[in-house]
């Protein structure tokens, strides 16, 4: 004969399960706020507007397809005008108004500027455009899901050697990204004893004629422009002086304002770049179609939004599991940091991405291209 449990015991068991159920529900993370800081005005807007659009698209796709157990994600965007002085005010605004737990930021100098703030607040930072040795020497809350700055811009140094140049002039915009690219080219050329003159420009300068006259007099046979659209004026001024030496540039040369400022002098310039053919062609084209559908236009330069889309989606793929994998006594940044370090084979539009021990990604590889024309600007030279 079965022993019947007393009503008190039955009630206790039911109460235990009810408390356990609501306890689990109360610990469930319903929403996560993410911030993005990038240039939406003034300069380098191709490194801010299209990437922010790509992240908006990624978040919208995630929210539309998430399950009930996956948190809703909110994205908030601030304009830093590509000036590191705006990084901390923008970050503080995002924290105070939206309590963000993850920060995406494009500017390398801005990434460095907010380091103390993100550590204090236990925020995970992701740079979706730049990935260099300086950023990899920072704290463990900083991740770089992007191409290698040194590797991509170093393609120019290799190309200069290949073409037999002997005297190289390099115009350098004074920020960390361009300076690291310039230093990598110099390192490569120094190994072959090739002369290189690095000219650091003023940020607002649009007249380079005096500098160009000196370089012309000294018979420099190659000109490299590591900077933003203002250096399009330098290209035009060089050609007006009768300088016929070939031009080379950095990863941002496809900004339409570069062409406009150069009045076409940019044509035939060689530069490192990334297209769908350099990554996962099928996924990349699906992304670009979705981007055009949502924003009614194509991005002028495809690699910034492609990298931003991958960076955001890689993070979102981890957030999907937070209510299953995060322990109650584990802080958000400890949990996400551990998850990101374990990423080994993420299939993105840019390729198969892994995160290394220093928080830097690998798997995004640029190629060398030539600027063909305004209508059809890209001719691939070599991987």
In this structure, the answer to whether residues 204 and 154 fall within a common structural domain is: yes
Q: CA–CA separation, 291 vs 146, rounded Å?
A: 19
Task: Find the DSSP H helices in the chain.
Answer: 7-26, 49-65, 87-98, 108-113, 115-121, 149-162, 176-191, 209-217, 231-240, 256-262, 281-295, 303-319, 322-325, 332-341
56 in Cβ contact with 125 (< 8 Å): no
Segment 51-77 shows an average pLDDT of 98
Q: Is the pLDDT of residue 219 over 60?
A: yes
Q: What is the pLDDT of residue 18?
A: 47
Q: CA–CA separation, 114 vs 37, rounded Å?
A: 11
Mean model confidence pLDDT for the chain: 94
- CA of 22: how far to CAs of 25, 234, 365, in Å? 5, 66, 48
Q: CA–CA separation, 233 vs 237, rounded Å?
A: 6
DSSP strand pairing (270-273 vs 72-79) = unpaired
What's the structural domain count of the chain? 2
Domain that holds residue 336: 31-147+278-365
Q: CA–CA separation, 38 vs 105, rounded Å?
A: 6
In this structure, the answer to whether residues 124 and 186 fall within a common structural domain is: no
Would you say residue 19 lies in a domain? no
Task: Map residue 42 onto helix, strand or coil.
Answer: coil
Give Cα 377 distance to the centre of its chain.
22
Structure tokens at 270: 């060689």
**Digit-coded pLDDT (tens) for 153-212:** 999 999 999 999 999 999 999 999 999 999 999 999 999 999 999 999 999 999 999 999
Which value, to the nearest 10 degrees, does the dihedral of the CA atoms of residues 292, 293, 294, 299 take?
0
**What CATH number has the domain bearing residue 320?**
3.40.50.2300
In this structure, the answer to whether residues 199 and 269 fall within a common structural domain is: yes
**Digit-coded pLDDT (tens) for 139-167:** 999 999 999 999 999 999 999 999 999 99
In this structure, the answer to whether residues 78 and 162 fall within a common structural domain is: no
Which value, to the nearest 10 degrees, does the dihedral of the CA atoms of residues 343, 344, 345, 349 take?
60
Q: Is the pLDDT of residue 5 over 80?
A: no
DSSP-derived secondary structure letter, 71:
P
**Digit-coded pLDDT (tens) for 338-356:** 999 999 999 999 999 999 9
Q: What is the DSSP string of 205-228?
A: ----HHHHHHHHHTT--EEEEES-
State the pLDDT confidence band at 9, using cuts at 50, 70 and 90: low
**Digit-coded pLDDT (tens) for 11-29:** 455 555 544 444 445 589 9
Structure tokens at 34: 């993410």
Q: What is the pLDDT of residue 379?
A: 96
DSSP-derived secondary structure letter, 4:
P
Would you say residue 317 lies in a domain? yes
Q: What are phi and psi of 309, to 5 degrees?
A: -65, -45
Q: What is the pLDDT of residue 357?
A: 94
Would you say residue 128 lies in a domain? yes
Q: Is the pLDDT of residue 372 over 50?
A: yes
**Digit-coded pLDDT (tens) for 220-243:** 999 999 999 999 999 999 999 999
Structure tokens at 104: 């995406």
Q: Which residue has the tokens 């330098």?
A: 234
Q: What is the pLDDT of residue 4?
A: 47
Q: Is the pLDDT of residue 58 over 50?
A: yes
In this structure, the answer to whether residues 139 and 155 fall within a common structural domain is: no
Q: What is the pLDDT of residue 7?
A: 59
Q: What is the pLDDT of residue 127?
A: 98
In this structure, the answer to whether residues 67 and 38 fall within a common structural domain is: yes
Q: Is the pLDDT of residue 1 over 70?
A: no
Q: Which of 372, 370, 39, 376 is nearest to 228 (CA)?
A: 39
Using a cut of 0.95, tell me whether the model's pTM lies above it.
no
Of all residues in the chain, the percent with pLDDT exceeding 70 is 93
**CB 60: neighbour CB atoms within 10 A?**
14
Q: What's the order of all strands across the beta sheet hosting 31-38?
A: 72-79, 31-38, 102-105, 124-127, 142-144
Would you say residue 20 lies in a domain? no
Would you say residue 85 lies in a domain? yes
Would you say residue 164 lies in a domain? yes
Would you say residue 233 lies in a domain? yes
State the pLDDT confidence band at 382, using cuts at 50, 70 and 90: confident
């Amino acid at each position: 004969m079965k022993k019947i449990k007393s009503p008190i015991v039955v009630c206790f068991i039911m109460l235990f399960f009810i408390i356990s159920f609501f306890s689990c529900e109360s610990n469930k993370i319903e929403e996560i706020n993410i911030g993005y800081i990038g240039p939406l005005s003034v300069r380098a807007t191709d490194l801010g507007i299209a990437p922010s659009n790509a992240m908006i698209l990624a978040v919208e796709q995630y929210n539309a397809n998430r399950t009930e157990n996956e948190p809703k994600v909110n994205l908030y965007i601030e304009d830093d005008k590509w000036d590191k002085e705006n990084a901390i005010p923008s970050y503080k605004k995002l924290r105070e108004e939206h309590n963000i737990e993850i920060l995406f930021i494009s500017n390398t100098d801005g990434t460095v500027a907010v380091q103390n703030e993100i550590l204090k607040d236990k925020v995970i930072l992701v740079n979706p455009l730049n990935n260099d040795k300086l950023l990899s020497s920072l704290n463990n809350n900083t991740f770089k899901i992007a191409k290698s700055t040194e590797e991509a811009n170093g393609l120019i140094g290799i190309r200069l050697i290949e073409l037999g140049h002997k005297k190289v002039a390099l115009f350098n915009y004074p920020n960390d990204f361009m300076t690291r690219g310039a230093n990598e080219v110099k390192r490569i050329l120094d190994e072959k004893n090739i002369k290189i003159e690095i000219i650091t420009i003023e940020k607002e300068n649009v007249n380079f004629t005096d500098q160009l006259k000196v370089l012309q007099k000294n018979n420099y046979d190659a000109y490299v422009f590591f900077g933003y659209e203002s250096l399009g004026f330098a290209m035009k001024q060089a050609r007006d002086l009768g300088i016929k030496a070939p031009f080379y540039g950095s990863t941002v040369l496809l900004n339409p304002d570069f062409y406009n400022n150069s009045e076409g002098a940019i044509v035939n310039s060689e530069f490192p770049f990334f297209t769908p053919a350099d990554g996962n062609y099928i996924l990349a084209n699906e992304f670009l179609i979705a981007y055009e559908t949502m924003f009614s236009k194509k991005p002028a330069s495809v690699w910034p939004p492609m990298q931003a889309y991958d960076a955001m989606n890689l993070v979102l793929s981890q957030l999907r599991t937070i209510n299953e994998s995060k322990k109650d006594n584990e802080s958000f940044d400890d949990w996400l940091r551990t998850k990101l370090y374990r990423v080994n084979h993420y299939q993105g539009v840019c390729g198969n991405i892994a995160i290394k021990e220093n928080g830097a990604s690998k798997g995004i590889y640029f190629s060398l291209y030539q600027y063909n024309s305004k209508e059809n600007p890209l001719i691939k030279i070599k991987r």
